[in-house]
A and B are shown apart, each in its own frame.
Chain A
Amino acid sequence: MKRARGGGDEEGPRQNGSAGRRKGDQQQSDGDDGDSAFGPADLQDDDNDPGLRREIRSKYRDLINSVQQNREDMLSPSNNKLTEVLEQANKLFKDVRQAREAALDAQLLVVATDLGKEKASQLFAEGTAFDPTAFAEHLLSFMGLNRLEDGEEEQNGGAVDGYLPQDAWHRVARRAECCFRTAPSFHYMMGSFHAEPPPPKQKTERQRKAPSKEAKRIMPTQLKKMEESHQEATEKEVERILGYLKSYYQDDPTSPISYYEFVIDPSSFSRTVENIFHTSFLIRDGLARMYLDSAKLPCIAPVEEGEVEAGGSCSRKQCIISISPKMWKELIDAFDIRDTMIQPPNTE
């Protein structure tokens, strides 16, 4: 793996390089890319072709990169990739004329030597060499990898396809336990915060609200996560509802739009829930605002184009509301809602 090269070459260009670079900065600032360097001794036509110089440097960089990126593969005793790299470098070296190229060559050589050293130590080490790739393979099996039957997946850079079970890392952790002498740690809740009594409660109110079984059922207690895949559909629907809101508002900007009248579909409870859900995005994004009218009933209005920015800066309040079929019916009666203001999407 030795490379033949003139003893003086190595030092020579480097010195030229630093001198040359300084010169280059002063004299050649209008050069091709500002980084071409001329050594005083290198003034032959061929050697001054900036394109060729750049190409050589770029090839060196690629080579260095490939060594650094594929270090583990190159270390494997089963291939000759390191030799191949060095042969390529030898070819490149024939055209090296300038200091910067020589510097890159030297850098490559450092990297390659380092690799060669490790490879050699591997070859001469007694016993089996540790192969991280094989280790990862075995570990995947240990973690319970469900391998895909498909044989052609092998092309994927030699990596095995398939998916790991949920508890894959727990399995490793469980197995590792006996290798560790970790002290168990002590966790507690009591004493981790300043003791503080609860805020005073209006006792009377609490007692008045003796829970009947129906009352308990009214509250929706759990908020289910929205599925990611529905996100686009949601966005469309939100825009559609904004359209309705704007057109009602434009019909008569002076009369307030009752929130409940807007969202409630008297023919469908589930549509009502969907409307409430989608309308909440308008509020969140500052496209609509809610306020209480003189009778303390919630109203909704679109936010004017110009207002949008200002609305974003004012403090936002979050609130979670609930609705049950019973409440829905009561609201329909109370507001005397006969028609839905938001037509279902597919009947348009």
Chain B
Amino acid sequence: MTQRKRLSATQSSSQSRRQTGSLLAQEEDDDSTFTQPSSTQVQRGLEKLTPAQVDQKTAEVVQYFLVKDQKKIPIRRADLVKHVVKEYRNIYPEIMKRAVRIFDQVFGLKLVEIDTKNHMYILVNKLETVEGASPINSPTNPKMGLLFVILSVIFMKGGVVRENLIWNTLKKLRVDPAEKHEEFGDVKRVVTDEFVRQRYLEYVRIPHTEPPEHEFRWGQRADMEVSKAKILEFMGQLHEQDPQSWSQQYREAHSTPSSTQASTSSQR
């Protein structure tokens, strides 16, 4: 992935943030002044604190991740340090190490840094979904259906599609981006803003297009969360066709090393 594209993706998402420019700049400042403490600094910091204090701060960090994950928007390190870690920033790596362990051991979740440049984190499930076997039917979010369709089309079309293809496909499915949908509301906003901020999708302007045209790709969260092999399996079912007949897609789905996806193993 090219630098340009990444850059514009972050730009578009930061533009849509509610914060005013000055506040945003201040946060950025916060992050730049925050330098990862060295291991000796951490060691010295830990010596000054009781284990209970470190545990409590860790619990707060875990809580913060859980609360922020309600909207599925990646969590910025700058915000985490500013709102929660605060005066414990000198032992930040130790706290993160412990938070990762709690998510792993207690929740079966994996805390992943999806953007090492801007330091953004998401939570991903480590447990495999057992298809249709759970006695409890958890509530479903219809937006995930919408997202699934879009991700499927992008993947099946080789990883990048023009926005028109998505809008036309959705129209065929009775979702008109120009109209207010009773379940999704403003469809265009959900797809090009919400899904983008959640990092499920990338929505980037194609250079030299007038009027401007955009293309969609998978976002980093989709790369972490969504199984291409399982999408292809669904495609096979839907089209009553062997998934292997889409040979390029099949190769891609099965060449992705499973390690990039959250694995079920947990160090205990």
Q: Are A and B direct contacts in the complex by CB distance below 8 Å?
A: yes
Please give, as numbers and ranges, the residues of chain B lying within 8 Å of A130 by CB-CB distance.
156-157, 246, 249
Q: Is the CB of A183 within 8 A of B70?
A: no
Mask, B160-173, CB within 8 Å of A = 1, is 00101100110011
Contact of B250 among A127, A140, A142, A175 (CB under 8 A): A127
Please give, as numbers and ranges, the residues of chain A lying within 8 Å of B174 by CB-CB distance.
164, 168
Q: Is B124 an interface residue (CB 8 A)?
A: yes
Please give, as numbers and ranges, the residues of chain A lying within 8 Å of B107 by CB-CB distance.
183
Q: Is the CB of B230 within 8 A of A172?
A: no
Please give, as numbers and ranges, the residues of chain B lying within 8 Å of A139 by CB-CB distance.
149, 173, 238
Q: Is B11 an interface residue (CB 8 A)?
A: no
| Interface SS of chain A | helix
Q: Is A135 an interface residue (CB 8 A)?
A: yes
Q: Is A169 an interface residue (CB 8 A)?
A: yes
Please classify how large the interface on chain B is, using the bins under 10, 10 to 19, 20 to 34, 35 or more: 35 or more
The A248-298 residues at the B interface (CB cut-off 8 A) are: none
Please give, as numbers and ranges, the residues of chain B lying within 8 Å of A182 by CB-CB distance.
72, 124-125, 144, 225
Please give, as numbers and ranges, the residues of chain B lying within 8 Å of A168 by CB-CB distance.
174
The B238-259 residues at the A interface (CB cut-off 8 A) are: 238-239, 241, 245-250
> What separation, in Å, do the CA atoms of A126 and B248 have in the docked complex?
7
Contact of B164 among A71, A128, A136, A142 (CB under 8 A): A71
B120 to chain A, nearest CB (A): 15
Q: Is B261 an interface residue (CB 8 A)?
A: yes
Q: Which of A72, A125, A132 has the most CB of B within 10 A?
A: A132
Q: Is the CB of B149 within 8 A of A172?
A: yes
Known contacts: A170-B145, A179-B226. The answer to whether A132 contacts B169 by CB under 8 A is yes
Q: Is the CB of B149 within 8 A of A127?
A: no
Q: Is B87 an interface residue (CB 8 A)?
A: no
A290 to chain B, nearest CB (A): 35
> What separation, in Å, do the CA atoms of A186 and B70 have in the docked complex?
7
Mask, A99-135, CB within 8 Å of B = 1, is 0000000000000000000000000011110101111
Q: Which of B128, B168, B249 has the most CB of A within 10 A?
A: B168
Q: Is the CB of A183 within 8 A of B125?
A: yes
Q: Is B59 an interface residue (CB 8 A)?
A: no
Q: Is the CB of B148 within 8 A of A176?
A: yes
Contact of A127 among B157, B247, B261 (CB under 8 A): B247
Mask, B72-116, CB within 8 Å of A = 1, is 100000000000000000000000000000000001010000000
Mask, B20-57, CB within 8 Å of A = 1, is 00000000000000000000000000000000000000
Q: Is the CB of A181 within 8 A of B164?
A: no
> What separation, in Å, do the CA atoms of A54 and B101 have in the docked complex?
69
Q: Is the CB of B172 within 8 A of A170?
A: no
Q: Is the CB of B173 within 8 A of A136?
A: yes
Closest residue of B by beta carbon distance from A69: B164
Our count of residue pairs bridging A and B at CB distance below 8 angstroms stands at 139
The A71-119 residues at the B interface (CB cut-off 8 A) are: 71-72
Closest residue of A by beta carbon distance from B171: A159
Contact of B248 among A125, A133, A142, A186 (CB under 8 A): A125
A100 to chain B, nearest CB (A): 15
Closest residue of A by beta carbon distance from B245: A128
Closest residue of B by beta carbon distance from A111: B209
The B190-241 residues at the A interface (CB cut-off 8 A) are: 213, 224-227, 230-231, 234-235, 238-239, 241
> What separation, in Å, do the CA atoms of A71 and B162 have in the docked complex?
10
Q: Is B135 an interface residue (CB 8 A)?
A: no
Please give, as numbers and ranges, the residues of chain B lying within 8 Å of A134 by CB-CB distance.
239
Q: Is A338 an interface residue (CB 8 A)?
A: no
> What separation, in Å, do the CA atoms of A137 and B183 have in the docked complex?
21
Q: Is A187 an interface residue (CB 8 A)?
A: yes
Please classify how large the interface on chain A is, using the bins under 10, 10 to 19, 20 to 34, 35 or more: 35 or more
Closest residue of A by beta carbon distance from B139: A170
Known contacts: A134-B239, A143-B173, A185-B66. The answer to whether A176 contacts B145 by CB under 8 A is yes
Q: Is the CB of A135 within 8 A of B156?
A: yes
Q: Is B123 an interface residue (CB 8 A)?
A: yes
The B167-186 residues at the A interface (CB cut-off 8 A) are: 168-169, 172-174, 183
Closest residue of B by beta carbon distance from A179: B230
B139 to chain A, nearest CB (A): 9
> What separation, in Å, do the CA atoms of A75 and B116 have in the docked complex?
38
Q: Is the CB of B66 within 8 A of A128?
A: no
Known contacts: A171-B145, A180-B144, A181-B225. The answer to whether A140 contacts B241 by CB under 8 A is no
Q: Is A201 an interface residue (CB 8 A)?
A: no
B173 to chain A, nearest CB (A): 6
Q: Is the CB of B109 within 8 A of A183?
A: yes
Q: Is the CB of A136 within 8 A of B145?
A: no
Please give, as numbers and ranges, the residues of chain A lying within 8 Å of B238 by CB-CB distance.
135, 138-139, 142
Q: Is the CB of A173 within 8 A of B227?
A: no
A61 to chain B, nearest CB (A): 12
* 27 A–B pairs (Cβ distance < 8 Å), ordered by A: A128-B241, A128-B245, A132-B157, A132-B168, A135-B156, A138-B238, A139-B238, A140-B173, A169-B145, A172-B149, A173-B145, A175-B145, A176-B145, A176-B147, A176-B234, A179-B148, A179-B227, A179-B230, A179-B234, A180-B129, A180-B227, A181-B128, A181-B224, A181-B226, A183-B123, A185-B70, A186-B70
> Apart from A135-B153, A186-B67, what are 10 other A-B pairs with CB-CB below 8 Å?
A127-B247, A132-B156, A135-B156, A139-B149, A159-B172, A169-B142, A173-B144, A174-B145, A180-B227, A181-B124
